């Protein structure tokens, strides 16, 4: 290996949004994460929705408008018959 070209490797503190902290090897000294093995639904066995930035609500709003238009078109076709 050539000297001086590789980054330094540290024991990094990993901090989760749930409050869990653990150490791992990394080139960074501190790492912040949103989900870890203590709070992730796969590891905890609990079903919970992990929604980042309201994606589910945004999807529902977008397609609610589509469904309303579709229902309105369907009711006009039935009344014309």
Tens-level pLDDT at each residue, the chain (81 residues):
788 899 999 899 999 999 999 999 999 999 999 888 888 877 787 776 666 667 778 888 888 888 888 888 876 655 555
- CB neighbours of 27 closer than 8 A, spacing ≥ 6? 7, 8, 9, 10
State whether 31 and 1 are in the same domain: yes
User: What is the 3-class SS of 7-66, one letter each residue?
Assistant: CCCEEEEEEECCCCEEEEEECCCEEEECCCCCCCHHHHCCCCCCCCCCHHHHHHHHHHHH
The verdict on 2 and 30 lying in the same domain is yes
Reported as type and span, the H/E element at residue 1 is none
The dihedral built from the CA positions of residue 10, 11, 17 and 19, taken in this order, carries a sign that is negative
pTM over 0.85: no
Tell me, yes or no, whether 35 and 56 share the same domain.
Answer: no
Q: Which domain holds residue 15?
A: 1-46
63 and 36, same domain (yes or no): no
Claim to verify: residue 55 and residue 74 sit in the same structural domain: yes
DSSP state of 81: -
Do residue 1 and residue 40 come from a single domain? yes
Q: Do 29 and 59 belong together in one domain?
A: no
């Amino acid at each position: 290996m050539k000297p001086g070209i590789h980054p330094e490797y540290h024991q990094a503190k990993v901090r989760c949004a749930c409050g869990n902290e653990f150490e791992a090897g990394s080139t960074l000294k501190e790492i912040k994460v949103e989900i870890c093995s203590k709070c992730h639904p796969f590891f905890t066995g609990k079903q919970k929705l992990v929604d980042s930035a309201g994606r589910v609500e945004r999807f529902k709003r977008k397609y609610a408008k589509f469904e309303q238009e579709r229902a309105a078109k369907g009711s006009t076709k039935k009344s014309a018959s």
